[in-house]
Amino acid sequence: MSVWNKLKYVLTNHCETRENHEDEQLRSRYYKTTNASAIKTIKELIESSPDYELLSVSDERGELSATTRRGKKAFIVITVISVRPFETAIDFSVTTETKLLPFDFGWSRRVVVDLYRKLDQRLHYIGSGING
């Protein structure tokens, strides 16, 4: 990753994953599971973690929202999309609440990377950005 991209993540308060992201760690990740199973796993992951608090779950829309309990306050939206039977994409959008400065020094990116790392341990990881 270039110096400019690293600086870009430090000087923002928002981080979002997408299919063809220039940062490989922030590309959409695909797991070998169903939509319902992925939502259930994410729900269990967040409820069992002391770092996050689950705010709402919308099974119909495939969205969950959460917030951080430790460190900086951040609002997290998790989107679960079923691509094919037993292939599900999971994306994150994290916005950090900042008081004095308009950036979070990479906190929102660290939250996304941490959640993906925890999901990789619970679900069968297929790949990232594979449909982009």
Task: Indicate the pTM of the whole model.
Answer: 0.90
Please choose, from the candidates 110, 17, 104, 11, the residue with its C-alpha nearest in 3D space to the C-alpha of residue 3: 11
Identity at 102, one-letter amino acid code: P
Specify the pLDDT at position 119.
96
Q: Are 107 and 115 in contact (CB under 8 A)?
A: no
pLDDT per 10-residue tile (average), the chain, 132 residues: 64 89 92 96 96 96 95 94 94 88 85 96 90 60
> Which of 115, 118, 121, 124 has its CA nearest to residue 17?
115
Q: What is the per-residue pLDDT for 103?
A: 78
Sequential DSSP letters for 94-111: EEE--SSSS--TTHHHHH
**Quick one: tokens of 84?**
């094919």
Type of residue found at 123: L
